[in-house]
Structure 1
Amino acid sequence: MTERIIGTGVKAFTSPHGATGRIRFLDSPEEVLDFIDGPDVEEAVVISRGGTTTFMSPALMAGVAGLITLQGAPESHLGILSREFSIPCVMSTQFTEGVTTARDETIPADGTLVRLDISGDRGQVFLVESEDA
């Protein structure tokens, strides 16, 4: 496996323990509820638009591997919850590649394998690639 950085942001807290999982973009309360009732919740790194998106709370309580927000700060609702549940979180993340959302944001496609690193000065998102890809 090889890795390369595809996103940076503000970490919600510092920890030597990051998270590895497959991306799942959740953009509505209905998508969150469908997600938490499905398989692979604990292997997912979820993406939310903002740090104040309260409807993401059930996903964090369900035990996702990690959280990425496109906006927000560690003092926001999701930053506080990520610390409370010890879920690695990178906020206000800017991606260098991925798919384009309906709001012209760049994010990794659903199913993309990523690793979150919250051990340094900034939060980082790495694309995990197979050697034979």
Structure 2
Amino acid sequence: MSTESNARLIGTGIKAFQTSQRAKGTIRFLDSPDEVLDFIDGPDVETSVIISRGGTTTFMSPVLMAGCAGLITLQGAPESHLGILSREFGIPCVMSTQFTEGIQTVRGETIPADGTLVELDVAGDQGQVLLVEN
């Protein structure tokens, strides 16, 4: 259940760790080292929830060090690289996330579009991604 009355569930996955802390921010899908480097130099790091393809995507480390609001992976487990780093930095993370709606990537994955406002909930049995509707 979300603290936002206008939020609805759009994705579920495995939480990297349990915390009552929620992450709220706009989606940003980063798929290459160049995209990561461009992003961490920009103004939106702390208000962004990042989507990464895999839990072993080591080039995503600078985004966590820069202090993104939250992290979503499409693959991976809490024991993977990004799961471990999200715990170390205290950044809410939902891994191996399956979305019920969104746009299609070039690889056919369904994800929320960049700029979509979401909230990550990792307090319960599973990680949840909630769409915050304005």
TM norm structure 1: 0.97
Instruction: Point out where structure 1 has 5 or more consecutive residues left out of the alignment.
Output: none
Matches within 5 A, 1:1-133: 2-130=6-134
Write the distance in 1 (CA, Å) between the matches of 2:87 and 2:80: 11
How many equivalent residue pairs? 130
The alpha-carbon deviation at position 85 of structure 1 amounts to 0.0
How large is the Cα RMSD of the aligned pairs?
0.6
Deviating 4+ runs (over 4 angstroms): none
Write the distance in 1 (CA, Å) between the matches of 2:126 and 2:38: 32
The percentage of aligned residue pairs carrying the same residue is: 78
1:15-69 Cα offsets, whole Å, 9 max, x none, are 0001000000000000000000011100000000000000000000000000000
Instruction: Point out where structure 2 has 5 or more consecutive residues left out of the alignment.
Output: none
TM norm structure 2: 0.96
